[in-house]
Amino acid sequence: MPRNGNPTVPLQVHFGFYVESLGNFRATEMTYDMDMYLYMSWQDDTMRHNGSEHILVNDKDILDKIWLPDLYFANARTAYFHKVTVHNFNMFISPQGTVSYGTRVTLNLACNLDLKDYPLDYQTCYIKVISYAHVKNEMNVTWFPNDPIRFNPEIDLPEFHIRALDKDYCNGVFLYTLTHNSSRVGEFSCLLGMLKLKRAIGFHLVQSYIPTALIVAISWVSFWIDRRAVPARVSLSFTTLLTLSTQGNGIRYALPAVSYAKAIDYFYGVCMLFIFGVLLEFAMVNSYMRRANKYNHMAEKIQSAYGGKPIIAADYDSDYEEGPTKYYGNLNKNSAHLMYKALKFSRKALSIDKAARRICNIQCVLLDVLFTGTAANGLRNFP
C-alpha cells in the first residue's frame, strides 16, 4: 500500500472508464463484450518529485514495480490488456504525488437477461468493480466526481439501443481471511456500472411478426375453398401449421432454455391456436359433408330404383340452396326426404364456413392489435 500522509485514513482511489465499443451479445450464453479505457487516480506520497511537470511512465518494466489498486471486474468471464503494438497504458505522476493511470481492457461480461417481455424487453447489464484484498477502511474506491462513465456516441448495436450508462455502488460485504474454523467479515469497495438497453424490434418485425401474421392469414383462405375439396383444405392447414412450428423453433434455438414463457411465445401460441382452429373447423365441416354425401347416395339409390332422374343434391355449392323441389318436380317421397337431409347437412357445413369467415375478421383485429402495438413500439426505436 502507498503512503498518503495519514495511515489512519483510508487511501482514496477514484475510478472511471470510457466505453469504446460494445458487441457480440450472446443470448444463449448471456454474455457480451466490452472494450474500454479504464482510468484510476490516487495519492501516493512516496511518488512526490521536484519536477515542474507530470512525469510520464509508459514502460511496462517500470509499471511492474509500482503499486496499483487491486481492482477486478467481478462479473467478467474473461479479460485481457491490449499489447499491440506495445502495452496500451500510461501513467502520469504529479509533483505532489498524485498518480493518474489509464489502460485499455477488453472484457467478456456476464449479463443476466430477463426475457419475459422478449422481444419488447429492456435489459440492464452490470459492470461490477471490487477491490480484491483491501477493505474499505484501508482503500476506499469511488467514482470520479465528473462523468465517471462515458461511451463512444458512434456505438450502434444491431440488436439493442443504449438508453443510458449510469453509475452506482453495490454491496461489498464479503467473508475473507478464511480458514478451516474461522473467517472475518469485511466491507470492500464495490462500484457498479449499469448499461441500460432496449431491444430493437425492427428485426423481429421483419423476421417474426409479419411472416407469422401472413401465415395465419393464408390459413384463413381455407374458409373460401370449396368444402368438398378435402385434400386442398387439409394440405393448406397442415402446411401453415408446420411452417409456423418450424419458424417458432428457429427463434427458440437462438435463445436460452428459460423456464418461463416469453412474450413472443404467447404470440406464437395465439397464432398456433388460430391455425389449429382452422383444422377443427374443417373437421366439423367435413363431418357434415360426409353425412350429406351419405344421405345423397341413399337418395340416389332409391330414386334409381324408382326409375327417376339421378339426384346430386349434396353437390350443390350455392349459398342460396332452397331444397330439392326447386330442381326436381317428380321425386320419390323417401328419396326427397333423404335429399332434404343431405341439403340440411350441406347447409350446416356452409353456415360453419360463413361463421368462420366472420370469426377470422375478429382474429384479424386481435392480430392487428398485437402487431400494431409491436410495430409502433419498434418504430419509435428506429434512429
H, E, C per residue of 108-157: EEECCCCCCCCCCCEEEEEEEEEEEEEECCCEEEEECCCCCEEECCCCCC
Let me know how long the chain is. Answer: 383
* Residues β-bridged to residue 18: 37, 150
Count Cβ atoms below 10 Å from residue 222 Cβ, excluding itself.
25
Q: Is the dihedral of CA 68, 70, 71, 72 positive or negative?
A: positive
Total domains present in the chain: 2
Mean pLDDT of 229-255: 86
89 part of a folded domain: yes
Check whether residue 179 and residue 286 sit in a common domain. Answer: no
- Cell 370449396 locates to 226
Q: What is the pLDDT of residue 327?
A: 44
Residue 28 has pLDDT above 80, yes or no: yes
User: What is d(CA 123, CA 111) in angstroms, rounded to the nearest whole number?
Assistant: 9
Q: What is residue 143's predicted lDDT score, i.e. its pLDDT?
A: 96
Q: Is residue 310 part of a domain?
A: yes
Residues 286 and 180 in one domain: no
Average pLDDT over residues 35-41: 96
Q: Are residues 152 and 228 in the same domain?
A: no
User: Looking at the predicted structure, is the pLDDT value of residue 29 above 50?
Assistant: yes
- At residue 247, what is the residue type? Q
Domain boundary pick from 199, 231, 266: 199
CA 141 to CA 190: how far, in whole Å? 8
CB 166 within 8 A of CB 149: yes
Task: Please tell me the predicted confidence (pLDDT) of residue 316.
Answer: 47
- CATH code of the domain in which 151 resides: 2.70.170.10
What's the rounded mean pLDDT across residues 366-373? 62
pLDDT the model gives residue 37:
96
Residue 314, pLDDT score = 45
> Cell triple for residue 311?
339426384
pLDDT tens per residue across span 134-172:
999 999 999 999 999 999 999 989 889 999 999 999 999
pLDDT of 75 reads 94
The 10s digit of each residue's pLDDT in 101-119 is 999 999 999 999 999 989 8
- Are 118 and 218 within one domain? no
Q: Are residues 37 and 171 in the same domain?
A: yes
- For residue 299, name the pLDDT band (cuts at 50, 70, 90): confident
Among 149, 171, 199, the domain boundary falls at 199
Nearest to 128 by CA among 83, 96, 167: 167
In the predicted structure, residue 333 carries a pLDDT above the cut 70: no
* Whole-structure pTM value: 0.77
Share of the chain above pLDDT 90, in %: 39
Range of the domain at 99: 11-199
Q: Do 30 and 70 have their domain in common?
A: yes
- 112 and 229 assigned to the same domain: no
Q: Which of 29-38, 332-341, 374-383 has the lowest mean pLDDT?
A: 374-383
What's the 3-state SS for 258-279?
CCCCCHHHHHHHHHHHHHHHHH
Residue 322 has pLDDT above 80, yes or no: no
Instruction: Convert the pLDDT of each residue in 175-204 to its tens digit.
Output: 988 888 889 999 999 999 999 999 988 888
The predicted pLDDT at position 325 comes to: 38
Q: Can you tell me the mean pLDDT for 212-228?
A: 86
Between 333 and 378, residue with greater pLDDT? 333
pLDDT at 22: 94
- Domain at 362, CATH number: 1.20.58.390
Question: Could you read off the pLDDT of 62-95 as tens digits, one per residue?
Answer: 999 999 999 999 999 999 999 998 999 999 999 9
What pLDDT does 309 receive? 53
Task: Specify if 5 maps to a domain.
Answer: no
Last residue of a domain, one of 149, 165, 199: 199
Pair 158, 295 in one domain: no
**Same structural domain, 22 and 66:** yes
Residue 2 forms part of a structural domain: no
Assess if residue 76 is contained within a domain.
Answer: yes
Average pLDDT in the chain:
84
Q: Please report the pLDDT score of residue 288 as a whole number.
A: 86
Nearest to 302 by CA among 326, 325, 336: 336
Task: Please report the pLDDT score of residue 379 as a whole number.
Answer: 45
Residue 313's pLDDT is 47
| The pLDDT value given to residue 80 | 95
Q: Are residues 25 and 163 in the same domain?
A: yes
Assess whether 152 and 140 both reside in one domain: yes
Same structural domain for residues 353 and 272? yes
325 in a structural domain: yes
- By C-alpha distance, which of 138, 142, 116, 135 is closest to 16? 142
Query: Is the residue at 184 inside a domain?
Result: yes
Residue 374 lies in a domain: yes
